[in-house]
Amino acid sequence: MVSFKSFINQIPCDYHTQALTDSSIIYIRYTDLLSLYQKSHRWEKFGRLMAQEAFNITMTRIEGFLFKSAEERYLDLIKQHPDIFNNVPLYHISSYLGIQVVSEQNPKKNFG
């Protein structure tokens, strides 16, 4: 999990990422990746495919916010990750989907 923009441009990321479940992390330094690209066309192909996948994921997420309702984004998430509610707190899921959790309103509040 990386900010592809920050990685490629070698600039700090504006946000932090935290794993919500047990995870394994594999990492590579940018200079080492560039060295692999120079040594092998297979690594260049790997880098291109990873960049394409990152782009597709990003565009799908952006288009979801532009063209889908919150309910459609929710149904897509359940379809793609059916066990998510067993592993991730609801407030993280609602934040990811761009849905604000509705709090209980005070029925005695005077609006007049």
pTM greater than the 0.75 cutoff: no
Indicate whether 65 pLDDT > 60: yes
Q: How confident is the model at residue 103 (pLDDT cuts 50, 70, 90)?
A: low
Report how far apart, in Å, the C-alpha atoms of 44 and of each of 35, 55, 66, 92 are.
10, 16, 33, 35
Segment 13-27, tens digit of pLDDT: 998 888 888 889 888
Contact 76, 70 (CB under 8 A): no
Per residue in 18-57, pLDDT (tens digit) is 888 888 988 899 999 999 999 999 999 999 999 999 999 9
Residues in the chain: 112
Question: Cα–chain-centroid distance for residue 26?
Answer: 17
